[in-house]
Amino acid sequence: MAKRANGEGSITRRKDGTYHGRVYVTTTSGVRKRVSVYGKTRDEIREKVTELQAQEAKGVPQPDTNMKLDDYLTYWLARVVKVNRRPKTYQGYESVARVHLVPGLGRKKIRTLRAAEVRTWLAQVAAECQCCKHGLDVDRKRCCAAGECCRTLLSRRMVQSIHAVLRNALQNAVREKLITRNVAQLVQVPTPTYDTGKGLSLRQARLLLKEAEKDRLHALYVLALVMGMRRGELLGLGWDSIDLDRGSLIVERALQRVNGALTLVKPKTRSSVRTVPLPPVVVKALEQHRERQAQERAAAGDTWTETGLVFTSRVGTALEPDNLRRSWYPLRKRLGLELRFHDLRHSCVTLLLDLGVPPHVVQQIAGHSGIEVTMKVYAHASLDEMRKGLDKLGSRLS
């Protein structure tokens, strides 16, 4: 048998019956080295060796790192996500990595992580009880009082988020040539169902604004319903962003709780930064709110903290986003409504489109990232609007 040429690779059988393949490749650092692959059959090893040789022929370098996923996630979060993404995004990614990815896949090497391993692990996470992990810890009374598995499962949305964080992390590893492909992209997860809320009819919207006149945050509800602003955008709105004389408003920051502190951050997306005109009803509400705030400033005296924000506590400090429910819940209860505060934004979009405002104009008012988002919200129109449309078609066809 002729001697194999350099680079052809070799396959040998080990004492335990498995097979060992060796082949020379070029690494991402430019060094040519001999790498090993292992498998149960000669055909399996031949396939792995052939794949490595094909990549070498195409000029695709092989990663020369044995970094484990938990170490890589630590690096990625600190050097990439924290530097380039919004604080709230970093906080969410870090939580997913710490709670789910590191305990589940952290000891796996990113170079040898396989799609099948990711798929199996995600299926296990989606199916296990979050209290007792399939009843293994019921003796510790971590589950229901009856000592039985309560089957508290992760939502589809959370499973999708876990998959998304892993996919984004590995994609960065591909860009940095630490791995050759993103195995998480090969794994599909169930698509969650989104509920955009019920929204308000025109009559309900009028009743809400009328009832909200009694609330010190009346202007906030006017802006939410008429301008379609997000909760964080409303609570981060400053008087320096409002020109009541010209009737215009600039949305340029949002208030969020990040790492335990209330922080002003950039809005959700680049298109969220926008300048919008103010209709008379909004100008009037803001003028009244400014007068009320001046009275509260005078009453607070030395205890007042000047933040420049439009919507504050009675002593001038920023409003806790989650505490807005103290005003919102009693208001919706008085009106007999079952909807979220964010549904006021959806109501604004739906009502504007019902009035014949072009979708691209509504998109700019709401600060949606794309017109498809605007139309997706509108797809959840009220039954009354759908009934009107179907009645109109039926009358034309009859």
Assess whether 139 and 114 both reside in one domain. yes
Q: What is the pLDDT of residue 137?
A: 45
Indicate whether 229 and 334 sit together in one domain.
yes
Residues 246 and 338 in one domain: yes
Short-list 109, 122, 111, CA closest to 163: 122
Distances (CA, A) of 306 to 250, 287, 314, 363: 20, 18, 11, 34
**How far apart are alpha carbons 201 and 385 in whole angstroms?**
9
Domain count, the chain: 3
Could you read off the pLDDT of 359-381 as tens digits, one per residue?
888 888 888 888 877 777 666 55
Domain that holds residue 37: 18-57
**What's the pLDDT score for residue 1?**
46
**Contact assessment for residue 360 and residue 378, using Cβ atoms and an 8 Å cutoff:** no
DSSP bridge partners of 262: 257
pLDDT at residue 212, rounded to an integer: 93
Measure the CA–CA gap between 109 and 183, rounded to whole angstroms: 12
> What is the per-residue pLDDT for 384?
60
User: Does 289 share its domain with 344?
Assistant: yes
CB atoms under 10 Å from CB of 372, counted, come to: 10
Same structural domain, 42 and 179: no
CA–CA distance, 299 with 301 (Å, rounded to integer) = 6
The H or E element spanning position 122 is: helix 115-127
Classify the phi-psi angles of 13: left when phi > 0, otherwise alpha if psi is within -120 to 50, otherwise beta: beta
Do the Cβ atoms of 359 and 374 come closer than 8 Å?
A: yes
Inter-residue contact 352 to 358 (CB < 8 Å) = no
pLDDT one-digit tens code per residue, 14-64: 889 999 999 988 877 778 888 888 888 999 999 988 988 888 888 877 776
196 domain residue, yes or no? no
Contact partners, residue 236, CB within 8 Å, separation at least 6: 253, 254, 255, 264, 265, 309
Same domain, 50 and 134: no
Q: How far is CA 329 from the centre of its chain?
A: 25
Are 230 and 379 contained in the same domain?
yes
pLDDT at 353: 85
Phi, psi of 112, rounded to the nearest 5 degrees = -110, 5
Q: Which residues of the chain have pLDDT under 70?
A: 1-8, 64, 132-151, 192-198, 377-387, 398
| Structural domain ending residue among the three candidates 156, 186, 216 | 186
Task: Return the pLDDT at 207.
Answer: 93
Q: Could you tell me if 149 and 129 are in contact, meaning their C-beta atoms sit under 8 angstroms apart?
A: yes
- The residue out of 151, 186, 221 marking a domain boundary is 186
85 plus 181 within the same structural domain? yes
Same domain as 261, residue 222:
yes
Answer yes or no: is 10 within a domain.
no
In order, the DSSP letters of 220-246 are HHHIIIII---HHHHHT-BGGGEETTT
Helix (H, G, I), strand (E, B) or coil at 312: strand
Same domain, 227 and 165: no
- Looking at the fold, whether 107 and 256 belong to one and the same domain comes out as no
Catalytic residues: 230, 268, 345, 368, 378
